[in-house]
Structures are given as C-alpha cells and as structure tokens.
C-alpha cells in the first residue's frame, strides 16, 4: 500500500523540478514587480496589477489555451523561441514550468509586495542621507527587511506551482516522464481501473508537500515581524 | 558656509525662508508647524524647493532656476532624526559602519574609536536597535551620522522623543560633539533652553517665515509649545 512505484516517483520528481524551476525563475521578476507596485507610481500601474492577477480569476483552461496559442510551436513567441533560442515549451516539462510559473505568479508577488510596503520609507531616507544610492538602499535596507515576505512568497508560489492542474494539462498535456506531474498523474490514476491505491498514495504525498509549504511560509511571516522590530 | 534661500508650498502652508552664515551651530528655533523640519529636509535633499537655492561651501546643491538638484545620497550631509531611524536588521556596529560602506571610504579605526568614545557607545556594539533605550538609540544615530564624514550635520529635535531625565543625559554629548567633532551643525528645536546650551547663532522661524536672526540673546525666556 505504501510502496511508491517508479512511475509515481517520476511524477513526484517531475513535480518538484517543475515547481522549483518555476519558482526560481519567477522570483527575481516577482521582486521587481512587487517593488514597482509598492514603491512607484507610473502610467498603467493598475493595468499591470490586473494583468498579474488575471491567472487567478481566469479559468485555468483558458490560461492554458492562451499559452498554447502564444508559446506553442506555431505560436508567436513559441515559434520564435524554438527557432532562434532552441527553447521549446510545447509538450515539454519546460512548458509545464512556464504554465505553473504564470499561475503561481500572483500568489508569489502578493506577500513580496506587502512586505516591501511594510518597510518604513523613513529608513530608506535615512540610508540615503548616509550616502546610499537608490539601488544600494534597495539591496541593503529594503530587500533584507522584506526578505521574510520574499521567502514566504516563494514558498506560496512553489505550493501553487506544485498543485497546478488545469493550465498545465491544457498546454503540455499529460505525458508520463515528460509533463505528468503529481496532479495530472492522480487525474489519470482515478480514471484507471485499480488506480485507486496509487492515486491515494500521491494524494498523501501532495498533502504533505502543501502542508509543509504552509508551515514554512507561516514561520517566515513570523520572522518578518521580529525583523521589523529589531530584536 | 551654508546659504539657504528657498520657498515651498506644502498644502495650505507656504514656507519662504532665507538664512546663512558660518556659525558652528545654527539653531532653527520655532514652534511646531513653523516649517523647521521641511526646511532641513530641503537642505538634506529629501524635499525639493519650488524656488530658490541651497549652497554649501560654494557648491550648489539646489538651484531651481538652473534645474540643479543634487540627490540626498550625493550631498554628504548627515541627518539625525528625532526618531533615530536605526536599521533594525543591523546591530549597532553595522549601523555605525553603514555610511562608510555606502561611501566606499577606507576603514579608519582611529576615527571610529574616537566617535565611539565621544558618544560612549562602545558597550552597545553587538546589540540590536530593539534592545536599546531611547537615549542609547539617539547616541548611536549621532555616531552613525558622524562616521559617514558629513560636511554638515542636521539634527531634527534629537531630544524630542526623550523624557527630561534622558535629555539631561544626552545634552552633554551634543555639547562635546559641537566642541570636538569639528562639523558644522544645524540644530532644530522648540526648546529655548536646549538652544541656549547648543546654538552659536539662532534663526527664529514663525509660520514659514524667518522672524528673527542673531545670537542666543534673541531667544525668548520660555520654550515654545511643542
């Protein structure tokens, strides 16, 4: 019953890889966007904000189909990337990572933005009077003080990425060993006769991973409060 | 040598002030809401004047007619805030060292030892700001500003958030700073007593206008409302 089969291990390993790559690539972008939204006023700010949150409110199958249209082999961006960079997304694990990254992005950005907003701007001013140029104020004051929130965003994004289903299966299908993650594997197993116990094993694994992510994220949030109070 | 000649509209409040001089400590004296903090924020480069100029030692920091505005981090003007504003994620040692690191100045242990000694903060170096008393925090903030080697030091009611006992504790350090640190200062306060002990010349500010300029003898007998 608790023996995890090689095929299941493959799905778990692939899920972890897809979610890790999605999170690591999305993080620098997420920090930049979070900082822009928290600290700058510019034309089109609410549009950017809406665009980031779109995957949260669109049906995932719509996001997946839009990805297929733009990043598929014949898609505008996908075709160009395949030809000039050799980077193929369609029906590859990289495509799963892209789908998961986009679906996880709003959840990843939110805690980052909130924690940057919570950093006292008067501290940033003080750093300026001590000779710190704006980018050094960011790297020595803003980012370290917002770090727990940044990590919480990464954990939350990772958890979302590992559970992503709709956009992934629409964009890159459900190919064992290439694009079959825990979620899509469970979906396949449920539809297979005698697949119930295997599905249950993956469900347990998925609950453990998600629970761990939530606990870790909560821990970072508590650290954030301590940091801001200087104890 | 500092010369300030600025005007700025802040909501309903209009600030228009000019003063200058070579005083060791220029006291900016006025009631709350007189525009003292806005004025030194402009000197620091944190606030841009609508019109006017700010010149220090012949270098133009602001000149609105020529669209000149040197950003705060290139002014080499130290600022001690009323609320200290120590960096909570750094210990006292790192807070003191921050300005030197940002200005890429070579480490000068003798200078650091002098400042640490002057302000008596040697015993606090490994502590975090959250573990300091209000007076200790303000002493560290003074040291942090000094160690960035400013050519001018702005102090915005540095005793304002302290109770009377703490004030008495910090005041001698400020006097030592004035006599030994060799950095000209602009000292903001509404407390006539403090002014008398520290300032060498006084600019009286009233509702955004300079109401008087001279030695400490122009100070009123009592303090103004906070």
- Kindly identify which residue of chain B lies nearest to residue A141, measuring between CA atoms: B87
Please list, in sequence order, all residues whose beta carbon lies within 8 angstroms of the beta carbon of residue B51, skipping any fewer than 6 positions away. B6, B7, B8, B64, B65
DSSP reduced 3-state for B7: strand
A220, pLDDT greater than 90:
no
HSE value, Cβ hemisphere, 13 Å, CA-based, for A46: 0
Q: Which CATH number fits domain B19-34+76-218: 3.40.1080.10, 3.30.930.10, 3.40.50.300, 3.40.605.10?
A: 3.40.50.300
Could you list the beta-strand ranges (E) of B82-208.
152-156, 185-189, 201-206
Q: What is the pLDDT of residues B30-59, one digit of tens each?
A: 988 899 999 999 999 999 999 999 999 999
Number of A:B CB contacts under 8 A?
Answer: 77
Residue B75 CB: number of other CB atoms within 10 A? 24
In whole angstroms, what separates CA B11 from the centre of its chain? Answer: 24
What pLDDT does B33 receive?
86
Bridge partners (DSSP) listed for residue B13: B10
What pLDDT does A201 receive?
93
Q: What is the pLDDT of residues B161-191, one digit of tens each?
A: 788 888 888 888 889 888 888 899 999 998 8
Average pLDDT, integer, range A182-202: 92
Residue with tokens 């197993």: A189
How would you classify residue B204: left for phi > 0, otherwise alpha for psi between -120 and 50, otherwise beta? beta
What pLDDT does A154 receive?
93
A141 in B contact zone (CB under 8 Å): yes
What pLDDT does A23 receive?
96
A122 in B contact zone (CB under 8 Å): yes
For residues A206 and A163, the answer to whether their CB atoms sit within 8 Å is yes
What pLDDT does B180 receive?
86
What pLDDT does A230 receive?
59
Q: What is the pLDDT of residues A99-157, one digit of tens each?
A: 999 999 999 999 999 999 999 999 999 999 999 999 999 999 999 999 989 998 999 89
Q: What is the pLDDT of residues B98-137, one digit of tens each?
A: 999 998 888 889 989 999 998 899 999 999 999 999 889 9
What pLDDT does B154 receive?
96
Alpha helices in A119-142 (DSSP H): 121-129, 134-137
List chain B residues with CB under 8 Å of A145. Answer: 88-89
Query: Predicted confidence band at A61 (pLDDT cuts at 50, 70, 90)?
Result: very high
Q: Do A228 and B88 touch (CB under 8 A)?
A: yes
Domain definitions of chain A by residue range:
6-229
Query: Predicted confidence band at A1 (pLDDT cuts at 50, 70, 90)?
Result: low
A231, pLDDT greater than 60:
no
Q: Does an H or E element contain B20, and which?
A: strand B13-21
Give me the phi and psi of A43, to 5 degrees please: -65, 130
List chain A residues with CB under 8 Å of B88. Answer: 123, 145, 227-230
* Distance to chain B for A127, nearest Cα, Å: 8
B22, pLDDT greater than 90:
no
Residue with tokens 């459900």: A174
Q: What is the pLDDT of residues A77-106, one digit of tens each?
A: 998 998 898 899 989 999 999 999 999 999
Query: Predicted confidence band at A214 (pLDDT cuts at 50, 70, 90)?
Result: confident
Lowest model confidence (mean pLDDT) among A143-147, B7-11, B214-218? B214-218
Question: Mean pLDDT score of chain A, rounded to an integer?
Answer: 91
Q: What is the pLDDT of residues A17-28, one digit of tens each?
A: 999 999 999 999
What pLDDT does A158 receive?
93
| Interface-testing mutation among A119, A125, A126, with chain B (most B C-beta atoms within 10 A) | A126
Residue with tokens 């104890």: A231
B226, pLDDT greater than 80:
no
| Interface-testing mutation among A131, A137, A225, A227, with chain B (most B C-beta atoms within 10 A) | A131
A121 in B contact zone (CB under 8 Å): no
Residue B198 CB: number of other CB atoms within 10 A? 22
Please list, in sequence order, all residues whose beta carbon lies within 8 angstroms of the beta carbon of residue B148, skipping any fewer than 6 positions away. A130, A131, B76, B78, B98, B99, B100, B102, B103
What pLDDT does B138 receive?
92
What are B's interface residues with A at a Cβ cutoff of 8 A?
44-46, 71-79, 81, 83, 85-89, 98-99, 102-103, 128-131, 144-145, 148
Domain definitions of chain B by residue range:
19-34+76-218
| Interface-testing mutation among A119, A130, A146, with chain B (most B C-beta atoms within 10 A) | A130
Q: Which of A120, A130, A228 sits opposite B98 (nearest CB)?
A: A130
What pLDDT does B201 receive?
92
Query: Predicted confidence band at B60 (pLDDT cuts at 50, 70, 90)?
Result: very high
A130 in B contact zone (CB under 8 Å): yes
Architecture of domain A6-229: Orthogonal Bundle (1.10)
Q: Which of A128, A145, A228 sits opposite B72 (nearest CB)?
A: A128
List chain B residues with CB under 8 Å of A130. Answer: 73, 78, 98-99, 102-103, 144-145, 148
What pLDDT does B160 receive?
84
For residues A156 and A54, the answer to whether their CB atoms sit within 8 Å is no
Q: Do B76 and A229 touch (CB under 8 A)?
A: no
Using alpha carbons, select from A176, A213, A179, A178 the residue that is nearest to residue A198.
A176
């Amino acid at each position: 019953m608790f023996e995890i089969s090689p095929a299941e291990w493959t799905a778990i390993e692939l899920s972890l890889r897809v979610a890790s790559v999605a999170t690591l690539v999305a993080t620098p972008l997420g920090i930049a966007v979070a900082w822009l939204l928290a600290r700058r006023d510019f034309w089109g700010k609410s549009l950017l904000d809406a665009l980031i949150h779109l995957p949260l409110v669109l049906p995932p199958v719509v996001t997946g189909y839009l990805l297929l249209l733009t990043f598929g082999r014949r898609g505008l961006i996908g075709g160009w990337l395949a030809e000039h960079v050799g980077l193929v997304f369609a029906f590859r694990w990289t495509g799963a990572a892209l789908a998961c990254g986009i679906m996880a992005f709003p959840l990843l950005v939110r805690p980052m933005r909130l924690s940057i907003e919570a950093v006292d701007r008067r501290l940033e001013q003080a750093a300026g009077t001590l000779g710190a140029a704006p980018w050094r104020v960011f790297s020595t004051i803003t980012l370290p003080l917002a770090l727990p929130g940044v990590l919480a965003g990464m954990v939350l994004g990772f958890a979302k990425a590992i559970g992503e289903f709709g956009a992934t299966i629409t964009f890159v299908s459900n190919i064992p060993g290439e694009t079959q993650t825990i979620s899509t594997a469970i979906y396949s197993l449920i539809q297979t006769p005698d697949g119930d116990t295997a599905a249950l094993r993956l469900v347990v694994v998925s609950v453990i991973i998600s629970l761990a992510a939530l606990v870790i994220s909560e821990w970072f949030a508590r650290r954030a409060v301590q940091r801001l109070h200087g104890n | 040598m500092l010369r300030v000649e600025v005007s700025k509209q802040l909501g309903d409040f209009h600030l228009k002030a000019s003063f200058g001089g070579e005083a060791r400590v220029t006291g900016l004296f006025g009631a709350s809401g007189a525009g003292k903090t806005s004025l030194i924020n402009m000197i620091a480069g944190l606030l841009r004047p609508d019109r006017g100029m700010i010149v220090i030692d012949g270098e133009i920091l602001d000149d609105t007619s020529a669209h000149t505005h040197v950003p705060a981090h290139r002014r080499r003007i130290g600022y001690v805030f009323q609320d200290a504003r120590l960096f909570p994620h750094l210990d006292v040692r790192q807070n003191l060292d921050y300005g030197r690191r940002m200005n890429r100045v070579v480490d000068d242990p003798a200078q650091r030892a002098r400042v640490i000694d002057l302000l008596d903060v040697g015993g606090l170096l490994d502590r975090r700001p959250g573990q300091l008393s209000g007076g200790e925090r303000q002493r560290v903030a003074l040291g942090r500003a000094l160690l960035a080697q400013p050519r001018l030091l702005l102090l915005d009611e540095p005793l304002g958030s302290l109770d009377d006992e703490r004030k008495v504790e910090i005041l001698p350090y400020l006097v030592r700073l004035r006599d030994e640190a060799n950095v000209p200062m602009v000292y903001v306060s509404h407390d006539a007593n403090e002014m008398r002990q520290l300032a060498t010349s006084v600019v009286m500010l009233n509702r955004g206008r300079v109401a008087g300029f001279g030695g400490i003898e122009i100070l009123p007998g009592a303090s103004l409302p906070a």
